[in-house]
Amino acid sequence: MQAVILVGGEGTRLRPLTYALPKPMVPLLGRPFIGWIIERFRTAGVDEAILSCGYLPAAIQAHFGDGRAYGVRLKYVHEVEPLGTAGAIKNAVDHIDGTIFACNGDVLTSLDLVALLQDHRRQGAIATIHTRPVEDPSQFGVVETDAVGRVLRFVEKPKPGESSARDINAGTYVLEPAALEAIPAGRPVSIERETFPQLIEKTGAVFARCTEDYWIDVGRPDTYRQAHHDILDGRFAAPIGVEIAPSVWSADGAPLPLGVEVRGPVYVGAGVELEPGASLEPYAVCYDGCSIGRDAIVADSILWPGCSVGQGACVRGAILGIDVAVDREAVVPPGAVLASGESITRSR
C-alpha cells in the first residue's frame, strides 16, 4: 500500500519559524512533525510513501533519506510551483501503483486508517474522504452526505442557513487510480473545488467517513503549541523518549541534575544543560542542546535546539527558533514567536 503526503507548502502561517526550516521538519516531541505522519501510515500497513515536496526539500530528504530507518520506502517528487492538493497528487502519479492513501502534511490525527480503507472498499468508492464535525463550519468547507455516507456536494464557508452540514474535510483520503486519472496534469488543481465535484457528478462514488478522532492542523503557532500540550497530556500519543519522572520526558533518558525544579508535563531534549536553580514549569519543552541558566524560568514554551536562556531570565508562553539567545534577566513577552538566531536583551 502506498501513501502520498503533501509537504510542499512554505509554512507561511508558522513564520518566522519556517524561514530556516520547512514545516514538515519542525520538531514535535521526539521527531519531526512529518515523522508522526509517516509512522501513522507505517502502522496501517503502508510500505511506501511518496513525499510531494516544494519548499526547502533538501532538509526533508537529508533527514529521512530512503526511509529504511523508519520502516517504509520513501520517494520524493518536487513541485516547481504550487499545484494545489489534487495537482500535487497528480504530480506523483508516475510513482503510484493502485489504490493510495493521500493526506495533507500539516494534520496530526489518530484516525483509524485501516477502517477508512475498509469503508472505502466496502462501498466501492472511487474516493473516500475523512471528515469530522465542528461546531462552527463557517470558516471551513463542509461536506454534505446522504444516509450512507455518499458525498452530495461541498459548500465553501457556508453562510447561516445555507447548509445544515457540520462535517469538514479533515485532509486524509483514499483514492482509486480512476480518481487520479480525472485530475489534469501540469497545472494547479483543487481537490475540493474541482476534482471531487467532478467525480461526484460523473460517478456518484465519492464517500465520506466521519469520525471524532483526535485531529489538529499544526500549521499555526497556537495549534503547534496545542499539539505539544496534547501529546504531553496523552491525548494523542506519548512523546518519544523516556519518562524519567511522572510526566517528565527525556529524549535520551538522562536524569535531571540536582537543584533543578521541574513540574510536569515537561520535555527535555538530548544534551540540555540545566543549571542549579533553573525551573521548568508545566508544558516547558526544551529541545536538544538548549541551556537554561541559574534561576531562569521556562514555562509553557517551546525552545528549539540550541537555545540559551540566561541566569534569572523568564520565558513564558513563547516559541523560540533555533539558537535563540535570551540574555541574563531578560523577559520574553508571552506569545512571542522568535526566528532562528534572534536574541532578547534585558530591558533597562
Question: Which residues are known catalytic residues?
Answer: 157
Is the Cβ–Cβ distance between 30 and 239 less than 8 Å?
yes
User: From CA 22, how far away is CA 56, in angstroms rounded?
Assistant: 6
For residue 169, the cross-strand partners are 131
CA–CA distances in Å: residue 126 to residues 133, 145, 203, 261, 329: 23, 15, 8, 56, 60
C-alpha 109/C-alpha 132 separation (Å) is 11
The strand pair at 27-28 and 31-32 is best described as antiparallel
Q: At which residue does the C-alpha cell 494534520 appear?
A: 107
C-alpha cell at 102: 493521500
Nearest by Cα to 226 from 316, 317, 292: 317
101 forms bridges with which residues in the sheet? 3, 174
From CA 312, how far away is CA 332, in angstroms rounded? 12
